[in-house]
Structure 1
């Protein structure tokens, strides 16, 4: 008996956790639909819907486990029924149930479905049990055809929407202009050199060598020229390596 009670408590805790997660997901989705209805997009809506679906699937798996005790065989009885307003009950139910009276007890403490709903469920279960394999395969095939047709329609509509969206987007860049800009910044292609206002000589361009003013050729305006001493000094560089040159007719010490 204690083992069954322990399993029952664990099942209730898991169910309550899933129900709280489901409640938060539904609340977040309703809030987005009410507050962000102008900016919400379809992928965000599908993500929220998938989250709710996952919580429902997890709740179904918990209730379908073999270790889960059949909750429909248990009875829930109220400890106190009153017509007065209960603030604690209001806070727990977030304002949905202000009074725990005789009118709402059968609805909120029901462990079995409504009699009409339960009757329809039994009819569907009996109909499914009496269904033959051939009829079931025919229904599955027909269902797959319908799903495939709907999928084709959705795919076609999506492709048309993507084509229309791409056509609406205006091109804001040019590949040729980008290449020209990169060539101008990196290699100076297409740029014109102008003489500055201060009379300074322009910088050396590609293929030209910059010559210092001390060895520059004389200009007509009387600028600094190239002196012979500077030419000799420029043409011959001092050597720091000492050499010892011997005559070729000297006998090699290791000659045979």
Structure 2
């Protein structure tokens, strides 16, 4: 019976040590990220690390509450050897944190009660809580519940608004076509898909097939478009009259008049 209990205790301690080492590794990784990756660390990554720590604590508590785990409260740890000399095995087990198991360290490492300062603070808080009447305690609890419920309502309302907004964005009708956009870009930039004009050899002033006609600008400006027909007609009417007048005056003063 005693050997069975010893084996059960040994296996439980091995499992507890493994869970504690996993928890320690997760805490060390989280501290490293907070100290060295604080510029790139975001809130979701921090929450993931915190959830990992919570999972390790949950597994550790389940292991302690398991039926096969012996009640560790009934066990007592006694020092078998106290020495001020360095203990290499102890340093290896504690990863260099504890190198000696001397008389001044045993009360701290094998303590079964709180430290005197922490114990006095706990007693002070317990006495302060004992002086509060039942009615005042109920009022404080009701006030805290009201604050928590208000915060919960705000968070729930905000979440509903986000869900409605995201669903409305997903059901938005499409008002454009990617293929049509590509066709327009290739037509304007490279002339692809443009049909020739059947009146390419028609009357003057009409655009030829497959050529882009620039927009008409302001008269007299650089890069202006074609001259309107009315302006072109007025210019043609004025030019022959000027030439005719000049020719007539030249014939009058020409010395070799026929």
**8 Å contact from structure 1 (residues 71, 111) kept in 2:** no
Which residue of 2 is the match for residue 70 of structure 1?
71
User: 1:57 offset after TM fit, Å?
Assistant: 1.4
1:9 correspondence with 2:23: no
CA separation in 1, counterparts of 2:101 and 2:16?
23
Residues 180-199 of structure 1 correspond to what in structure 2 (within 5 A)? 180-183=180-183, 191=192
Which residue of 1 is the match for residue 62 of structure 2?
61
User: 1:136 offset after TM fit, Å?
Assistant: 11
Which residue of 1 is the match for residue 148 of structure 2?
147
User: 1:35 offset after TM fit, Å?
Assistant: 1.0
User: 1:70 offset after TM fit, Å?
Assistant: 1.9
Structure 1 vs Structure 2 CA RMSD: 4.6
**8 Å contact from structure 1 (residues 18, 55) kept in 2:** yes
- TM-score, length basis structure 2: 0.51
- Unpaired runs of 5+ residues, structure 2, are 163-174, 196-258
- Higher helix share goes to which structure? 2
For residues 16-60 of structure 1, give each alpha carbon's deviation from its aligned partner in whole angstroms, at most 9, with x where no partner exists. 111011001101100100110000000000010011111111111
Higher relative contact order (CA 8 A, sep 6+): 1
For residues 56-94 of structure 1, give each alpha carbon's deviation from its aligned partner in whole angstroms, at most 9, with x where no partner exists. 111112222343222122111223222123343333322
For residues 182-216 of structure 1, give each alpha carbon's deviation from its aligned partner in whole angstroms, at most 9, with x where no partner exists. 4369999962669xxxxxxxxxxxxxxxxxxxxxx
Which residue of 2 is the match for residue 27 of structure 1?
28
Which residue of 1 is the match for residue 93 of structure 2?
92
CA separation in 2, counterparts of 1:41 and 1:159?
24
Which residue of 1 is the match for residue 168 of structure 2?
none
- TM-score, length basis structure 1: 0.52
**8 Å contact from structure 1 (residues 82, 100) kept in 2:** yes
For residues 96-152 of structure 1, give each alpha carbon's deviation from its aligned partner in whole angstroms, at most 9, with x where no partner exists. 22222111112212345557767959x97xx9xxxx9xx999988766544333344
- Unpaired runs of 5+ residues, structure 1, are 163-174, 195-256
CA separation in 1, counterparts of 2:115 and 2:4?
31
CA separation in 2, counterparts of 1:71 and 1:136?
35
Query: What number of residue pairs does the alignment pair up?
Result: 177
1:40 correspondence with 2:41: yes
